[in-house]
Structure 1
Amino acid sequence: MQSVFTKELHKKYANVKFKKKTKNVSVYESKNYKVKVKDLDIDTVGKQTVSIEGKNKNTNEKHSAEVSVKVEDTTAPVITCEDTITVEQNEAFDINRYVSLNEEGTVTLTENVDTTNTGTVTTSIKAKDKAGNVSEKNITVNVEKNFYQRIADAALAQIGVYQDCTMLVTNSLAAVGINFHGAPAAYLSLGPLTNNPVPGDICVYQGHVALYIGNGQAVHGGWYGNQTTIYSVECNQPFIGYVHVNR
């Protein structure tokens, strides 16, 4: 606005700074000069006709004019997003789920996130508003093994440990923050039965429980003198079903 004041009023008004706004009047001041701008809506982009009145605070000399001004949006959108995002392996990744903007705009990534492999990806969010203003934010995306695979991996990590079958499953579930221990049948309460098991599902039998790891195999505790070992899902215990644990 200072350039408008200089051109339309006098060059002496070049140093005034925005002071306040009351209703439809914006006030700009310096030590010696004051300008009032009427009917300027800075939130509306486009051409507007406004009235400006300048005053010398020492002499009360005044200058006024009615001018056409063009309001432009030159402010980049503000990106709100965590610095680090954690997702599971093979999860469909959509950055829009994690980002919000303070205005309408589009969000893209400078480098796409491939979740087929675990690891860490460093990328940047680029946000662009309707006026073409762009802002960026660097983020880190951690791709971790999925919930059920972490249970299966925890079971495999116990191969050779001397313990009974329930402790094997309890220790495996602890890897994903589930604290539960009980008789074999009690593990039926942790989720629905499924006919399409995935690694990390619980195999429940009459009087026995194990952890499915895929390809028809499970980790069993309490075998061969209470050892933990890999063996077929089909064993000498009557099978009840696979439990897909609730997350």
Structure 2
Amino acid sequence: MLTLYSYPDLFGVADNNPYGLKVYAFLKLCKLAFRHEHILDAEKAPRGQLPYLEDNGEAIGDSDTIIAHLIARYTLPIDDGLTASQRDTDHLIRRMLDDLYWVMSYSRWKDPRFWPLFRDALLRTHPGLTKAALDKARDYNFKRYYYQGIGRYEPEAVYDRGVADLRVLAHLVPEGGFLFGAKPSSGDASIYGFTANIYFYEIDTPLKEFLMSRPNLVAHCRAIHAALAG
């Protein structure tokens, strides 16, 4: 049995981290049976990062590496038929989403307008968590933001960067269907991991305000969400 280890759920979304949700969505779209274990301690994870997957005793880290591993090992057809140009577009979108991640994370852990709301939502949803543990995680994230660079920006500049990423994504996602046609690809799982953690997020950040103004992004998110429940 495959086991996905990732961060806890929040606001009805299976993982409040976009990378874990991306892998979760991929597994669901491919109809692979798996166990989902929610954890916070990444000590046992490859490179000390979540999510990671256990497959017959083998631990695989990094969301893109996990997806590539599953496609190869289980001969999954989800990306069959994509052209070379579409595969390049998928790669570029995933790298852009890596940039968006930092803005999403900043909006939760650093921005003083939203941090108390995020913290309290986690504590309500997961009574086993403590304020002390979340404060420790917040201090750790502050260091990450500083060394990555986003922590040195003024808040307005941070959100300008994230909105710019979402604007480009809105130009690429079609008005109907999925990224490359009538059926979802692994790229759609990647997009959902991020957009669902903005759309279903019950805190009105600038990222959510922008996403809600783009009907195609909302429709895409809802379509994948419905497909996962089916």
State which structure, 1 or 2, has the greater radius of gyration over its C-alpha atoms: 1
Report which of the two has the higher share of strand: 1
Flag whether TM exceeds 0.5 (same fold).
no
